[in-house]
Structure 1
């Protein structure tokens, strides 16, 4: 999604659309760099870049009309992933971090300038709410990701409800397939009644508010977990990219996309102008969907929460730190009871984990792994996401 937004800036620059800079520049919001920790991982030696992408659950600035809730509510993060762009600037991997993951949150800056005490084994999405402000705390989430991964985050981008809805409108919607009818209560489990039907079973195209409802849906499909929702979001983003690639971004689409994006993005100061965004976008213009893999941090359930699996996670971060490819594998073994697409049990007793113990993962998510390290069920990668949407929805 972020690559799609950046692509719009590439096209604007290529078209010589300098007259748009003033218009778009006024849209861009930045967060305070004073909240970024001083004790940070060192920058990598290669040309690789790490971009933290946060989906904001904030209800400010008109977002409550799309997401529901109080417009004065505390800012929350609904989803997050770390996009590692390899040094060749042609390949990338997006590592999703479930919002319920138990992590250590380092000291973070409060609005009054003081810093919090470290928090141990706290839900990951709590970092974004530190300070209890309506717009959230992206710097605290960035600090938390750097502590978790040991990787330096080069840039942080936050996109809100309006930005996502507008982006899907600009591209004309995305085709999805639902295995069952979905009702208002599925989106908001606090409702006392089922409510109206939001989605009918079967194939359909979603855009705008309906696309937002679809990717936020957690309880109406599969096992109701955040992990299941992450899989659907990964597949949806893959389909979105595939549609954009097949349709192309015409000049009439580029300006609405860039305008909607800049109105709905909050970025670190390093991306805080159209010129900076365009320059960064140009550096990533050769990253292709076919060379982008989606994975989830190695995980297991710990009660109602998610725990990071070691040493698998450490191996994953080390591979990214050294700019080596990672294995596009799911993190839990499949079985007939969990509704995996194949309906077959796992063929390997290997415990959950993304990275093989050898530390030498396969270079492509399409290349079969060796039997001893074969993943039980692959995360849908971008190349297959569009074809797998119906199947993937069944096992959320």
Structure 2
């Protein structure tokens, strides 16, 4: 066995070809093996990429199939010019179609109505945003809107805002008419419009794992439905809690059991809810992986304008908002007052707000256009010396029908060390302008007071002392108006997305 094995080995050695270049044969063989492995790896990677792209393409195909768009032919041809920043109209619809009647109640054959609406202004720097709520009962001018038969309505004045969405009396409503109305109201061009109905809203809150809310008191079924004859079961306990699905819908629809029971008060809680939802989404991270399930839930019950009518456009827009800071995300309500059972817009306060947004200024007066040096250019005008009212006594009178105005002005004076000797109503409440009266030798002190009341008139008086009689100009503006252009009635009531969850939840 040993001899035979040795002979065979010798034959193999004699018959084996001698390497022409010595050990280099083995090196080239190793290189061929590495190139082969590299080709296999590349093919594998490419296969994964192709399959991944196909999967992503399928997801986008599915999302595209979810999205409904409304016709651009209903958007007015007489529109404001595009300005700085981007404006998105968000409409919450209580349409009963597509399974929504099971969540929101009502007749599934009823016409579509807008339950809530706000205009989101995203500043050009993509780091600031402000959402302006428009109460559904606000009296506005509804411009011509297109009907299903192709004809156009006539302009209607002094009409409730939510009537615009019901133009045409269709089950899905008229987002285009609401957009036309907002552009007529604000002078701002609406770049995109998004309608989310009950079902989409409920699914969205489920996907994010619930949203934190706060209740100032226990809430029962009767608080949601005042037509009930009994209080019903407890829906929410007082304090913080996490809600989703039907519970989230119930929260944002509660009206009668909190504060003054008004739709204005409900807007406060809706703003708090949206702020909490944004906080939850941002805490999870605005990445495509996180956005895809959100997009799937949202698009199933979403109607958008043609400019957002594809998944890539919708997700691209959402990703563009990822750098907006929570503190720089503000929620305000259009300046308003009650007019009977309806809501009237307070002017010129509202126009001052729209003007600031058209100029891409934040509500606290910053230029957020993103241009170099903008912050310095937008800084409030300064004086050579700080304002101090130390040793200066002032009486404050309210010359308007706006309650609490004198107290607010008194607080502003006290913040600057003025001594407020008293507050009261003026002899008449029809003053248009704010008037500052001063006694002999007190003009310089009165001028110091006037720095807190831009546009006030200074009048000498025969008696001694300084008095401020507030006019409607102060109602619309206030001390911050000169620097920011936004009325203090708006800025004082603004909510940031990072505010305390349980604060500022209602009027009354």
TM class by shorter chain equals: 0.7 to 0.9
Match of 2:505 among 390, 393, 396: 393
Aligned to 1:76: 113
Which residue matches 2:496? 381
Identify if the C-alpha distance between structure 1 residues 231 and 31 changes in structure 2 by more than 3 Å, giving closer, same or farther.
same
In 2: Cα distance, 1:231 partner to 1:64 partner = 25
Q: Conserved in 1, the CA contact under 8 Å of 2:282 and 2:322?
A: no
| Alpha-carbon distance between aligned partners in 1 of 2:485 and 2:272, rounded to the nearest angstrom | 21
Higher deviation after alignment, 239-248 or 146-155: 239-248
Match of 2:79 in 1: 40
Matched residues in 1 for 2:364 and 2:290: separation? Answer: 35
Aligned position for 1:255: 292
- The 5 A counterparts of 1:60-139 are 60-139=97-176
Give the deviation of 1:314 after TM superposition.
0.8
Q: Does 1:208 align with 2:245?
A: yes
Q: What runs of 5+ residues in structure 1 fail to find an aligned partner?
A: 1-12, 336-343, 364-368
Which secondary structure state, in structure 1, belongs to the residue aligned with residue 338 of structure 2? strand
Over 3 Å counting, the alpha-carbon distance change for 1:250 and 1:74 in structure 2 is: same
Contact 1:333–1:376 (Cα < 8 Å) also in 2: no
Aligned with residue 267 of structure 2, among 213, 230, 235: 230
Tell me: CA distance 1:175–1:334, structure 2 relative to 1, closer, same or farther (3 Å). Answer: farther
Tell me the alpha carbon deviations over residues 176-218 of structure 1, each in whole angstroms, 9 at most, x when there is no partner: 2222221222112233333322212233221111011101111
Equivalenced residues, count: 360
Return the alpha-carbon distance in structure 1 between the equivalents of residues 224 and 128 of structure 2: 35
Q: How does 1:23-62 map to 2 (within 5 A)?
A: 23-44=62-83, 46=84, 48-62=85-99
* Higher Cα radius of gyration: 2
Instruction: Report if aligned partners of 2:75, 2:180 keep a CA contact under 8 Å in 1.
Output: yes
1:347 equivalent to 2:411? Answer yes
Does the 8 A contact of 1:184 with 1:197 survive in 2?
yes
Which shifted more, 272-281 or 243-252?
Answer: 243-252
CA–CA separation in structure 2 for the residues paired with 1:355 and 1:173: 40
1:6-42 CA distance string (max 9 Å, x none): xxxxxxx99x933311111000000011110111111
Residues 137 and 377 from structure 1, CA distance in 2 versus in 1: closer, same or farther, beyond 3 angstroms?
Answer: same
Give the superposition deviation at 1:345.
Answer: 11
1:79 to partner: Cα distance: 0.7
Aligned match of 1:317: 354
Q: Displacement of 1:375 after TM fit?
A: 6.8
- The one of 473, 484, 488 equivalent to 1:361 is 484
Q: Is the 8 A contact 2:193 2:305 kept in 1?
A: yes
TM-score (norm 2): 0.65
Q: In the aligned structure 2, how far is the partner of 1:104 from the partner of 1:98? A: 14
Find the residue that maps to 2:111 and give its secondary structure: coil
SS in structure 1 of the partner of residue 59 of structure 2? helix
Q: Structure 2: where are the runs of 5+ without partners? A: 1-51, 366-400, 413-469
Deviations 1:149-194 (A, max 9, x none): 0111011001111111111111211222222221222112233333
SS across alignment from 1:177: strand
Q: Is residue 2:142 matched to residue 1:19?
A: no
Q: Following TM superposition, by how much is the alpha carbon of 1:225 offset from its aligned partner in structure 2, in angstroms?
A: 1.1
For 2:301, the equivalent position in structure 1 comes to 264
Asked whether the 8 Å contact 2:89–2:120 carries over to 1, the reply is yes
Residue deviations 1:22-68 (CA, integer Å, cap 9, x gap): 11100000001111011111112x3x111111011111100111111
Query: Against the structure 1 CA distance between its residues 207 and 150, is the aligned structure 2 distance closer, same or farther, given a 3 Å change threshold?
Result: same
Conserved? CA contact 1:289–1:382, under 8 Å: yes
RMSD: 3.0
Give yes or no for the alignment of 1:158 onto 2:195. Answer: yes
TM-score (norm 1): 0.83
Kept after mapping to 1: 8 A contact 2:128/2:324: yes
Distance change in 2, residues 1:355/1:58 (3 Å): farther
Query: Which secondary structure does the structure 2 equivalent of 1:158 belong to?
Result: strand
**Higher RCO by CA contacts (8 Å cutoff, separation 6 or greater):** 1
1:241 pairs with 2:305? no
Q: Check the 8 A contact 2:353/2:485 in 1, yes or no.
A: no
Give the secondary structure class of the aligned counterpart of 1:256: helix
Name the SS of the counterpart of 1:128 in structure 2. coil
**What secondary structure is seen at the aligned counterpart in 2 of 1:378?**
coil
> Which stretch of structure 1 is more off in the superposition, 20-29 or 196-205?
196-205
2:82 match: secondary structure: coil
Relative to 1, partners in 2 of residues 1:169 and 1:323: Cα closer, same or farther, differing over 3 Å? same
CA shift digits 1:273-323 (9 cap, x unpaired): 112223333443433323211111111111111111101111111111111
2:215 aligns with one of 159, 162, 178 = 178
**How many angstroms apart in 2 are the aligned matches of 1:165 and 1:128?**
21
Task: Establish whether residue 308 from structure 1 lines up as the match of residue 345 from structure 2.
Answer: yes
